[in-house]
Structure 1
Amino acid sequence: MVNYIIFGVSISVISWMVGIIFNSILVKTKYYERLSHMNFIDSKILNKYLGLKYFKWIVKNTFFKYFNQKIQLRNGKADLAEVRKEMTYAETSHLIGFIFVGVFAIYWSVTRSFLFGFIIMIANTLMNLYPSLLQQENKRRIDKLIKNQ
């Protein structure tokens, strides 16, 4: 079971690099503009039930806060459009990583065991889907700030 968890976390970390690579290709296409405005969950209530508030606290108060320094607002001096662009890039990279690991999880569920695939998807959800949902929520907040400027 511990090996399943280690594998799930490892493949999720590897998926970050896969997401960045494929996103750098995708950003050059005409479809990327549509991706910058997608929202999976608009409801604040549903985000609350999913525990996004707690995930946000973890990101802000642990070593994860050092991962992407480009998407932080410091003393109100940041270019909001550039921060939003970086958020979109991070969000899309995590979504690509989520899909990548999802394929592995399905494969391992069929070839090894359902439990193995399930544990991989738990790690994948925490390390790819939740960061993407958090970026979407933050983009909505940034959009309000941009609109008020």
Structure 2
Amino acid sequence: MVFQYVSFSISIGFISFMVGMTINAFLRKTEFYKATLSSLNFIKSERLNKAIGLAGFKWIIKNTFLKFFNQKLKLNRKAEKSDLYKLREEMTISEIDHLIGFIFVSIFAVVKFYNHNFLFGLIIMLVNIVMNLYPSLLQQENKRRIDKFLQKL
């Protein structure tokens, strides 16, 4: 039973990537995206990021096969200022894709909680956090690092 919950959660997580990319493609054309969504910053504290395990998640992304998923999020050592702006823009796109996916999957979890299937809802949310929320928070942290570096230039 639990295996079915986990497999469903992972499946809906991958589907949420496509949903996020599709909805974000439309949102990018709006002024709301440029004014508000491109500058989201949920957790500003590096200490809190560390406490929730974002450093460990970052290590996993950098040192496993997951590093091959979004090849646009790589930077050369000899990058120029314009490259940093492009990288930041790609990070923003990825961040919003994952946030939309997080909201999409959260709806499924809320429905499961509402139907008193608490274990299923909990498993959906845990997988959703790992597949959508943490990548989004990691992109926000990386964007802050790029912003600090750009301010120094």
TM-score, normalisation: structure 1: 0.97
Residue 91 of structure 1: aligned partner: 95
Q: Could you list the runs of 5+ residues in structure 1 that have no partner in the other structure?
A: none
Q: Percent identity?
A: 55
Q: How do 1:69-80 residues align onto structure 2 when only pairs under 5 Å count?
A: 69-77=71-79, 79-80=83-84
Secondary structure in 2 matching 1:31: helix
Q: Could you list the runs of 5+ residues in structure 2 that have no partner in the other structure?
A: none
Residue 6 of structure 2: aligned partner: 5
CA drift at 1:32: 0.6
Q: Which one of 41, 45, 48 corresponds to residue 46 of structure 1?
A: 48
Which amino acid is 2:14 matched to? Answer: V
Residue 65 of structure 1: aligned partner: 67
Q: How do 1:23-38 residues align onto structure 2 when only pairs under 5 Å count?
A: 23-33=24-34, 34-38=36-40
CA drift at 1:148: 1.6
Residue 118 of structure 2: aligned partner: 114
TM-score, normalisation: structure 2: 0.94
Which amino acid is 2:30 matched to? Answer: T
CA drift at 1:146: 1.4
CA distance in 2: counterparts of 1:115 and 1:93, whole angstroms: 26
Q: How many residues align?
A: 149
CA distance in 1: counterparts of 2:53 and 2:149, whole angstroms: 24
Q: Which runs of 4+ in 1 moved over 3 A?
A: none
CA distance in 2: counterparts of 1:68 and 1:103, whole angstroms: 26
